[in-house]
Amino acid sequence: MINENLIARIYTVDHRGYERVGTGYPIAPNLLMTASHVVSYPELDESKGVFVVWDEQGQQSDVQLDMDTLVYNGHKQQHEIDVAIIRCPTPLKEKVELLWNSPPHCTEFYCRGYPLAGLQRNKPRHDALKFSGNTEGGTPSTYLELTARTQPVSVENPALTDWKGLSGSPVIIDQKLAGVITSQYQTVERRLFAASLPYLLKHDDIFRQLVHPSQCIDDYKLARQKDLAEHLDSMSCSTLLCCEDLIQSFKQDQGACISNLTDQLSGSLSHLSDQQLQVLLGLLLTQLDIPECEQKADHTYSLKVGTQLLSEVAISMIYGAVPRFQSAEKGVSGLKGECVIPASLTETGFDSARQAEDQARAVSHAVYKKLHGDKELVNIHSNKAVTRYKGLNKHLLNTRNQGYIYRFELDQEDANDVQHPLMSEETRRYLKQALLPELLIAFYGEDYAFDEEPDLESQVGIYMQNLKR
């Protein structure tokens, strides 16, 4: 249900000191959606931040824009996607429903926001105005074409017929959030253009994960169930292991299910390769129910799990991959993902106190070593390292798209990790802004996802160790 009282006024200041206004709407208690050009434009004075006001709620937020607060900028994904999401406190308490399918031609819509026509003399603020009309076209696209029934005409100044200020306004169809008003409009024709949320939900994984994580996880699990069934068929195991029965057994008692599979490694599953058995394990683990994580910044997550085993599963769910684990060693109880980068102080070069820039460069050093080995490693700190960082970012992105999620993982309950420089927001900010924006950092360990998590980790460890037959 859309609550019109939650429409927000968004103020920014440009380099000339002029105040600019836009509109926004909360999509979560800590997320505000608007148009990208409202909060990110060439003349923006970033030092002034963003000022958000909810008049009807008597609430306001003063936000300093950085990588931790501007969590989605559609212009960076595709220039015509004029959508941004800001992390800040909002008064939202109800669930916001999103429109998943593109509306057909001539569908009724309305929007409400703060165009210049709402300005009035002797008032500390200008009023929100509401417009309604019909959609045009009906063909799925990156934008929705809208025709309003009226123009934004000011009562005090009829010359003010500009739609400016309405940018970022939510487009509502059937009480669902369907789009975001962009900077494109045709005043005389009463024509507006809105970024299409149905398009973004279907084609932009980062956007979908931010605004509708539970739906993403449901879709992910269904896809992995299909992969598991096909994997069992390809190994000629479907007669021994029925996919539905295996998943049901796993959900009833994860540890016992993995223990049973371990027992079969020397029997009915002995003809399978270690790689086949690792894929079987990974696909089965994707059916776990893991609490929703918190995204602190772009590719930076606080996971609600207690072990690196479930950290690998949680990260795989976020990025649509299949969990992969490093080979277990005898006497080692814990397991970690195949693409976890060693983050020890020695490995990352933090043997002495450093400033944030040096710390961030040392992190990049460790990333390069994980991906490329020691070849030409000494040059990573040279003045020519800019091209090397670009190459690292490209490699991180390409491998992530192939299901290999290279990252650092830090245990928030571990005495050594708590002192790690990557725990510093300043270090992470420099690292992401200046060097490796594509690097993923995950925090875990504050609490277990469920009571049986330690036992599951133990059983999976035994399973992995028994692969070395």
pTM for this model (two decimals): 0.68
The answer to whether residue 332 is domain-embedded is yes
Question: Residue 229's domain spans which residues?
Answer: 212-286
List, for residues 410-469, the tens digit of each pLDDT value.
Answer: 999 988 888 888 888 888 888 887 888 889 999 999 899 999 999 999 999 999 988 865
Q: Do both 296 and 282 map to the same domain?
A: no
Q: Do both 320 and 376 map to the same domain?
A: yes
The answer to whether residue 465 is domain-embedded is no
The three-state DSSP-derived secondary structure of the chain is: CCCHHHCEEEEEEECCCCEEEEEEEEEECCEEEECHHHHCCCCECHHHCEEEEECCCCEEEEECCCCCCEEEEHHHHCCCCCCEEEECCCCCCCCCCECCCCCCCCCEEEEEECCHHHCCCCCCCCCCEEEEEEECCCCCCCEEEEEECCCCCCCCCCCCCCCCCCCCCEEEECCEEEEEEEEEEECCCCEEEEEEHHHHHHHCHHHHHHHCHHHHHHHHHHHHHHHHHHHHHHCCCCCCCCHHHHHHHHHHCHHHHHHHHHHHCCCCCCCCCHHHHHHHHHHHHCCCCCCCCEEEECCEEECCCCCHHHHHHHHHHHHCCCCCECCCCCCCCCCCECCECCCCHHHHCCCCCCCHHHHHHHHHHHHHHHHHCCCCHHHHHCCCHHHHHHHHHHHHHHHHHCCCCCEEEEECCCHHHHCCHHHCHHHHHHHHHHHCCCCEEEEECCCCCCCCHHHHHHHHHHHHHCCCC
Q: Do both 187 and 249 map to the same domain?
A: no
Asked whether 113 and 169 are in contact (CB, 8 A), the reply is: yes
pLDDT score, position 165: 81
Q: Do both 71 and 163 map to the same domain?
A: yes
Q: Do both 39 and 150 map to the same domain?
A: yes
Q: Do both 275 and 356 map to the same domain?
A: no
Q: Do both 396 and 301 map to the same domain?
A: yes
- We report the CATH number of the domain holding residue 193 as 2.40.10.120
CB atoms within 10 A of CB 1: 8
Last residue of a domain, one of 286, 318, 339: 286
Low-confidence ranges of the chain (pLDDT < 70): 56-58, 65-68, 117-126, 138-139, 152-162, 187-188, 238-239, 327-334, 344-356, 374-387, 468-469
Q: Which residues pair with 20 in a beta bridge?
A: 12
Q: Do both 68 and 152 map to the same domain?
A: yes
Q: Do both 148 and 72 map to the same domain?
A: yes
Q: Do both 167 and 246 map to the same domain?
A: no
Last residue of a domain, one of 237, 255, 286: 286
pLDDT score, position 176: 92
pLDDT score, position 378: 47
The answer to whether residue 463 is domain-embedded is no
CA–CA distance, 112 with 98 (Å, rounded to integer): 17
pLDDT score, position 109: 95
The answer to whether residue 468 is domain-embedded is no
The answer to whether residue 107 is domain-embedded is yes
CB atoms within 10 A of CB 401: 11
pLDDT score, position 285: 96
Q: How many domains does the chain have?
A: 3
